[in-house]
Structure 1
Amino acid sequence: MLIGYARTSTLEQEAGFEAQVRELTTLGCDRIFREQVSSVAHRAQLEAALEFARQGDTLVVTKLDRLARSVVHMGKILETLEAKGVSLRIVDMGVDSSTPTGRLMLNVLGGVAQFEREMMLERQREGIAKAKSEGAYKGRKPTARAKADEIKALAEQGLSMGAIAAKLGIGKGSVHRALSAPKAA
């Protein structure tokens, strides 16, 4: 059985998500697990796909970065699949873990992908540091703190933290912090 897995990081990536699902369907995947969640977040559908797979099945993804976030993560996924007798196919690379060459390529490509991600993050940190030193980067404006008086007024009216958060368009945690902050003297 071919089992597809499609993932995008954000809901805004709808076209890429649909393209993955379309490609997996065209390849003949009998079941497709899909989710729109960051690679570092909990991925329930990936876990479900790994759990669903049985000996002789093949897990199919369109790209390596849709599946694993690092070499270590890729290794864990491969270990799980191998223990169950399931192979992995990465379409855009033409890699299939059911072959020795495919397993070698997965390890090499996973290392390159992790290296590229680390380089991107390093460049991002350098850019932020430069912008901060030039006074151009000030971070996110503290929206919830600016609404502290409004939060307290709504709480005094008896609204729940969830209701306050929804009404003001902020997170429940922000409401909690504003309500539990020490009063200024």
Structure 2
Amino acid sequence: MGRMFGYARVSSREQNLDRQIQTLKKYVDEEHILTDKESGKNLNRPSYQALKGALGLRSGDTLVITSLDRLSRNKTDIKQELQWFKEQNIRLKILDLPTSLIEVPEGQKWILDMIQNILIEVMASIAEQERLTIKKRQREGIEAARKKGKHLGRPRVQIPEEMEEVYTLWKNGKITAKKAMELLHMSSSTFYRKIQEYEKVSGPKGH
């Protein structure tokens, strides 16, 4: 028999871990419950990485969590972690997924493998569907903006009519760049960007 570990996570230091810990204590000794008060956006969390490290989970061990989103809130990451547990021969028990708690007779480990494979496929499908939905919404948003004649991205500053005259004065040293910006009502970054655009169209002028 391998060892039993528990893992609990909340998203911020203000949140309380007590409820998860009390639930996990029904299955795991408290000294073997590791906790993080970190966001589920990524996997770079101290206690969770310790569990996966050299002194943590080993082949034949079991990790107990209250729900899948304690591992991560990113569906792609969850699928990746489920695959890692499978490859390392680590049993994952998820308390709000009763099928993951099934105990099987010796020699019938294939049943647990089947459950884990189904879970991996389900999470992969959900993650893929979320990606497709996001892409579809982006395409719809771009198309709607085009129909309304909107320019997407940073608003473009049109080259004003006075650009040629002011540009020539500035290029010939008659006025400073600061004065040119004032006359054109442009910020420094916009002014030099528009100079580049203007010179591409008309070519450099002056001395």
Whether TM exceeds 0.5 here: the answer is yes
Query: Partner residue of 1:73?
Result: 81
What SS is found at the alignment partner of 2:9?
Answer: strand
Identity of aligned pairs, percent? 20
Letter aligned with residue 48 of structure 1: A
1:92 is matched with which residue?
Answer: 96
2:144 paired residue number:
134
Residue in 2 that maps onto 1:21? 21
Deviation string, structure 1 residues 75-124 (Cα, Å, up to 9, x no partner) = 223323x2xxx532222222159743122101111111111121022112
Q: Report the residue type matching 1:46 in the other structure.
A: Y
Please tell me whether residue 118 in structure 1 is matched to residue 128 in structure 2: yes
- Residues 60 and 129 (structure 1 numbering): CA distance in 2 closer, same or farther, change over 3 Å? same
Q: 1:123 to 1:184 in 2, by over 3 A?
A: same
CA distance in 1, matches of 2:22, 2:151: 42
- Structure richer in helix, relative to its length: 1
Q: Is the 8 A contact 2:85 2:91 kept in 1?
A: no
Question: What is the CA distance between 1:60 and its match in structure 2?
Answer: 0.6
Pairwise CA RMSD of aligned residues? Answer: 3.9
CA deviations on 1:30-52 (whole Å, 9 max, x unpaired) are 32222223353423322212332
Normalised to the residue count of structure 2, the TM-score between the two structures is 0.51
Higher alpha-carbon Rg: 2
Contact 1:63–1:92, Cα closer than 8 Å, also in 2: yes
1:4 aligns with 2:6: yes
Equivalent residue letter for 2:116: L
Equivalent residue number for residue 201 of structure 2: none
Say how many residue pairs are matched: 140
Structure 2 residue aligned with 1:48, among 44, 47, 50?
Answer: 50
Letter in 2 for 1:119: Q
Gaps of 5+ in 1: 142-181
- Paired residue for 1:32? 33
Unaligned residue ranges in structure 2 (runs of 5+): 104-108, 155-188, 193-207
Residue type at the aligned position of 1:23: T
Distance in 1 separating the partners of 2:143 and 2:14 = 33
User: Are 1:109 and 2:119 counterparts?
Assistant: yes
Structure 2: how far apart are the matches of 1:13 and 1:116? 30
CA contact (8 A) 1:87 1:97 kept: no
